[in-house]
Chain A
Amino acid sequence: MEHTAQDPHERPFFAPSGKGGLASWIFSTDHKRIGLLYLGLIMLMFSVAVVLGLLLRLKLMTPGNTLLTPQQYNAIFTLHGVIMVFMVVIPSIPASFGNIFLPLHIGANDVSFPRLNNFSWWLYVTGLVLALVSIFTGNGPPDTGWTFYVPFSEHTTTNVSIAVIAVFVLGFSSILTGLNFITTVHRLRTPGMTWRKLPLFVWSLYATGWIQVLATPILGITALLIFSERVLHLGLFDPGRGGDPLLYQHLFWIYSHPAVYIMILPAMGVISEIIPVFSRKPVFGYNMIAFSSLAIAFAGSLVWAHHMFTSGMSDNAVLLFSFLTFVVAIPSAIKVFNWLSTMYKGSISLDPPLLFSLGFILMFSIGGLTGLVLGSAGTDIHVHDTYFVVAHFHYVIFGGTGLGMFAAMHYWFPKVFGRMYDHTRAFWSFWIILLGMNVLYFPMFVMGLQGMPRRYYDYLPQYAPLQMVSTWGSWILAVGLILMFHNLYRGCRYGPVATKNPWGGATLEWTLPTPLPAEAFYGDPVAPEPYDYKGVNPDG
């Protein structure tokens, strides 16, 4: 260690030690700094994609040729999807809060491979830069949708080649994070931290890590294949030369369905941490919540073709994948029931983190149940590729993962930044966001059932009223988001100094000073019972 004035066990991790500056961040191997770097970039990309989404809604407010040209519209929904999926939602919770709290939860001072951790952040940055290049060079941004379906993606003259390489690099970054987390959980648990004492957040990240490692390579090869189809013209998916475009869809969804569990599992882990703390009760059904994470990871890798019911696949395959899709709903429902049972007869304090978690449960339940409408082969024929799908996955991904991310931000904020945000504003921002989301997305269920296809530039007059309502919803949501980020920003600049354990959590991070110190533990800490609140009380 350098001879700094302050003990690294007391100095906040973000305070400079000796030589500070940018290099001490971007080349940092400290999991907390890397987590914060991720958080910053993810939020930046989130804002960009939100603005794109608002633009789409603004265009769709009225039918006909307004505001955007069709080509611009195609490019913007592609960018919105690519940015949100690969640069925001996939890394969201694991790369930011997972990085910061996974080691602390198991009593370790860092991940197993700190330099690899820094390298995956750099890969993430490289992916962002490549994506930017694909927007501003060549024949303009890709217009294929985030799914890059062949044959269109092979023939469009827009910048798909660079975009898929960006996806490849981002996937690599995600793999390395998952690999790092799995190894960390196996190797760095403090003595006494048995598998059944692991916080559920760690369990969820562990399951996520396996999906990242096992599913993402298929995305990698899919991206490489698109690239080589475009550049080398191998013709592997070209029906004219005997290729089969359906095989592309299989490859794509073999990754991209498990990917939705990369998106949602960490958020479920966050919720499993927050609910017991704010109910002052041990989590109900610890074993089942932990096990269902693994069950989701496993079963979730067997259902990909439910995205292809209308593609002309064999009926046997349709029935099988439909059945498996119903199976995967079971472990998700187990979690929801366990959370509710945890709250039952608890001593509930409705603080902002819990509020966002409840929002998660509501939105995830709506999104999950409508997912079954899509998963059952008969009804899917009716709503396939309509706004119903768009509504479904925005409920799950934004209402679920998004609110889970916001819950995590409000829960760990004081621990990371050492200050507290304003609770009243947090309440208001939550309710406005929740209202906005529902006004924005619920009409899409209705429009979808009425047959409004997704990704269309124009629509029939009969959809005009609901399209209008949906756009209003996007404005409400934007106001809520601005309020929330403003509140958090104010909190970290001027908020009152936070105490060590403001919520009364029993996991290890709450035994550390606030804000988190550069070096977390002296030696190996004693493994606590993570959900035993006897003798653990909120400060003040």
Chain B
Amino acid sequence: MYSAKVMEHFQNPRNVGEIEDADGVGEIGNPVCGDIMKLYIKVKDGRIIEAKFKTFGCGAAIATSSMVTELVKGKTLEEAKKISRNTVAEALDGLPPIKMHCSNLAADALQKAIEDYKNKRNAKDQK
């Protein structure tokens, strides 16, 4: 049912964990199935230099989480914002139709983390 790439990322997920002093954190619950993802990013000079995740979810959720952390690394925030669920799914050689919503988790968590970073920065600037 899953592509070899999904299984590979499921079995050896990259960048699992938390970043203590993260610049942005995105936590998202999947309303469809109840699964949860937490994504941490570290930003320097407008680029994401590190990303880590923790996910409670199905194989696709874990694989897409892993993949999104790989995809964003080194990207500018503008570039990262363009990463959609399709980008993630394609990078994994596709997902079964019923599992497409799983990649929302990763894509949405990323957008939330970027938003969180921007909010934090704005708050700092106002101080």
Mutual binders A and B: no
Taking Cβ atoms with an 8 Å cutoff, the residues of B that contact A are none
